[in-house]
């Protein structure tokens, strides 16, 4: 574009404003981001400030619910990893007709409200349902039993692991897998020696996400397996029976046990991607 004498004369006047505009926008964005982070952290600051530290003590049955949640969550995550890893790899590595339907089936439990998901499980696996009746004759009752508790945790956590694991597999360059196959390695050895190590951090993040989802699942568990009582249901019982002061110890235990692993893996994942 050709500059006119008027443009040349006006340039010194507008130049400082042109330089200040990006800096002003950067400050506005930073301020909005900081306000958003403060907004997200307010409930946790409120928990710390409102906890009655001097009189803090566990309620009867709190340690039992802690044991139930931790032990069954470990089993549930192991089940999720075993059956959901092939699903994630299949979706990441294969294109086929009707793939959108498979993806929708993975997302459906994720998009369904937990309480509604619990009702769906009760309709399918309850003692008088079409699946529940034959299972009950085989001695497997999926209502208010440890098996029902595991079922609820698996349904609550599996979609999160599949989504994370699929992203991790998609991040592995296919060329490396092709080179391994070309060199005579079997698909199974290629998967374990190339795909899994290169996607390990993302897979670990998926495991951590599944862990915290299984540990904190409330809506599905409330409908399908009120007993045995894990941490979320016990928190609800303490709140109903005794009031807000009774939930603080178990709430802190939940955060201390459930969150360090996901937070650590999240930080490592960001560093692995070149973040700060």
Asked if residue 19 has pLDDT above 90, the reply is no
Of the ranges 14-23, 73-82, 165-174, 260-269, which one carries the lowest mean pLDDT score?
14-23
Q: What's the mean pLDDT in 259-264? A: 83
* End-to-end CA separation in angstroms for the chain: 41
Report pLDDT for 5: 58
Report pLDDT for 210: 93
* Cα 42 off chain centre by: 21
Per-residue pLDDT tens for 55-110?
A: 888 989 999 999 999 999 999 999 999 999 999 999 999 888 888 999 999 999 99
Residues 6+ apart with CB under 8 A from 13: none
Q: Say if residue 228 is preceded by a cis peptide, omega within 30 of 0.
A: yes
Report pLDDT for 21: 75
Report pLDDT for 71: 95
CA distance 143 to 129: 11
**Average per-residue pLDDT for the chain:** 88
| Residue 32: Cβ within 10 Å count | 10
Residues 6+ apart with CB under 8 A from 268: 201, 204
Report pLDDT for 267: 75
Per-residue pLDDT tens for 115-155?
A: 999 999 999 999 889 898 999 888 899 999 999 999 999 99
Per-residue pLDDT tens for 24-52?
A: 888 889 999 999 999 999 999 999 999 99
Per-residue pLDDT tens for 198-223?
A: 998 889 889 989 999 999 999 999 99
Q: How confident is the model at residue 275 (pLDDT cuts 50, 70, 90)?
A: very low
CA distance 237 to 81: 31
Residues 6+ apart with CB under 8 A from 124: 130, 131, 132
Report pLDDT for 276: 43
Query: How many Cα atoms sit within 13 Å of 76 on the Cβ side?
Result: 32
Q: What's the mean pLDDT in 225-251? A: 91
């Amino acid at each position: 574009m050709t500059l006119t004498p008027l443009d040349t004369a006006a340039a010194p006047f507008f130049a400082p404003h042109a330089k200040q505009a990006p800096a002003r926008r950067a400050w506005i964005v930073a301020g909005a981001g900081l306000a958003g982070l403060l907004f997200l952290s307010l409930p946790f600051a409120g928990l710390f400030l409102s906890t009655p530290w001097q009189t803090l003590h566990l309620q009867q049955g709190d340690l039992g619910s802690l044991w139930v949640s931790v032990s069954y969550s470990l089993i549930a995550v192991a089940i999720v990893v075993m059956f959901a890893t092939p699903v994630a790899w299949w979706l990441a590595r294969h294109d086929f007709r009707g793939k959108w339907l498979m993806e929708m089936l993975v997302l459906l439990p994720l998009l369904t409200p937990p309480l509604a998901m619990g009702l769906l499980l009760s309709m399918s696996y309850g003692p008088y349902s079409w699946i529940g009746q034959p299972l009950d004759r085989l001695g497997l009752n999926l209502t208010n039993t440890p098996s029902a508790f595991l079922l609820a945790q698996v349904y609550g956590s599996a979609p999160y692991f599949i989504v994370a694991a699929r992203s991790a597999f998609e991040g592995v360059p296919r060329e490396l897998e092709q080179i391994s196959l070309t060199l005579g390695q079997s698909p199974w050895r290629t998967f374990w020696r190339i795909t899994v190590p290169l996607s390990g951090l993302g897979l670990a993040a998926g495991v951590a996400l599944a862990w915290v989802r299984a540990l904190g699942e409330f809506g599905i568990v409330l409908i399908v397996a009120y007993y045995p009582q894990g941490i979320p249901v016990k928190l609800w019982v303490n709140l109903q029976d005794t009031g807000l002061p009774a939930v603080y110890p178990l709430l802190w235990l939940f955060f201390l046990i459930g969150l360090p692993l996901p937070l650590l893996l999240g930080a490592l994942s960001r560093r692995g991607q070149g973040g700060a």
